[in-house]
Amino acid sequence: MLNLNNVGKTYTDQNQGRFEVFSGIDLTIEENQFVSILGPSGCGKSTLLSMVAGLESVSEGAISLEGNDINQPGPDRGMVFQEPSLFPWLNVQENVLYPIKKRLPKKEAEERVNHFLKMVHLSKFKNHYTYELSGGMQQRVAIARALAMDPKVLLMDEPFGALDEQTRHIMHDELTKIWHETKKTILFVTHSIQEAIKLSDRVVVMGTRPGRIIADFDINVSRPRRRDDAKVIELENQVMDLLKDEINKVLKEELDHEASH
Ligand code: ADP
Ligand code: MG
């Protein structure tokens, strides 16, 4: 459904000149799949997700959704960021309504808003301003807003990274439930091994310098997943070993660089 074909990203800036974040990314994601992109910070996860969202240009290769090339944002892709980025001057209901109100008849748009606010358990708070809500509630508004656009793919960039651990666990259960109910395809970026393995059908591991895909794991563990499940622990250890090598490589490069200057 979502296809990345030999995708690369290069930034050009005045100081460093050309900087290649990654290249040669090949990835095919099936409809309804929950896929996590996992990797150390700086490997290009956010850049890759922004390219799928159409917010960043593609330097090399191509990205397509159901056969159509992606080169700009569109309602077929809903994005949720680490910061909920809601409008403080609108209430919860108006925030969710905002991206769809020009595209849909009023009644239909309002019904959708109500439907998704119910799904994220915020009906009671629909007239509240977003600053009156906790971080977890704000992120649920952002998820409802993305879902209300009825996108084909939900793109999430470390959406629970700023939440406390307890809230994060609750949000994991919520998202799993929403995914079952909506049957959305989800592309989820995280640097947390536990989070990736707990949530996903598939974990794509990225390495750094140069950014690339170093592994692709199928997570064949029934849900709900327990942290002490033997299979979960084994997968976590496998991924941890892979990433340890990557992180050590970066540290070594930095130390060598310092020693030579
Ligand atoms: P991640 O999300 O995995 O932490 P990012 O995608 O944010 O990584 O960044 C990957 C690399 O690209 C980093 O080295 C970052 O400094 C660089 N980068 C990101 N955005 C830009 C930009 N607009 N201009 C130049 N370099 C950038
Ligand atoms: Mg990032």
Q: Is the pLDDT score of 219 beyond 90?
A: yes
Alpha-carbon torsion (28, 34, 39, 45), positive or negative: positive
- Report CA(183)–ligand 2 centroid distance (Å): 25
Backbone phi, psi, residue 178, to 5°: -60, -40
The CA-CA-CA angle for residues 36, 72, 196, to 5°, reads: 5
Q: Which residues contact 142 (CB under 8 A, 6 or more apart)?
A: 80, 81, 84, 85, 86, 159
Ligand 1 nearest atom to the CA of residue 13, by list position: 25
- Report CA(56)–ligand 2 centroid distance (Å): 13
Ligand with the closest atom to the CA of 45:
1
Q: Is the pLDDT score of 259 beyond 90?
A: no
**Tens digits of residue pLDDT in 80-138:** 999 989 999 999 999 999 999 999 999 999 999 999 999 999 999 999 999 999 999 99
Q: Which of 26-35, 157-166, 247-256 has the highest mean pLDDT?
A: 26-35
Ligand 1: does its nearest atom lie under 6 Å from the Cβ of 109? no
What homologous superfamily does CATH list for 1-76+152-228?
Answer: P-loop containing nucleotide triphosphate hydrolases (3.40.50.300)
Ligand 1 nearest atom to the CA of residue 40, by list position: 3
pLDDT grade for 28, boundaries at 50, 70 and 90: very high
Ligand 1: does its nearest atom lie under 6 Å from the Cβ of 44? yes
Ligand 1: does its nearest atom lie under 6 Å from the Cβ of 43? yes
- Which tokens is 79 given? 């994005």
Q: Which residues contact 117 (CB under 8 A, 6 or more apart)?
A: 92, 93, 96, 123, 126, 144
pLDDT grade for 192, boundaries at 50, 70 and 90: very high
Ligand with the closest atom to the CA of 48:
1
Hey, whose CA ends up nearest to atom 14 of ligand 1?
42
* Least confident residue range of 7-11, 62-66, 163-167, 184-188: 163-167
Q: What is the pTM of this model?
A: 0.93
Q: Which residues contact 57 (CB under 8 A, 6 or more apart)?
A: 51, 71
Ligand 1: does its nearest atom lie under 6 Å from the Cβ of 21? yes
Domain with CATH 3.40.50.300 in the chain: 1-76+152-228
SS3 at position 203: strand
Q: Is the pLDDT score of 14 beyond 90?
A: no
| Per-residue pLDDT, 15 | 79
Alpha-carbon torsion (235, 240, 245, 249), positive or negative: positive
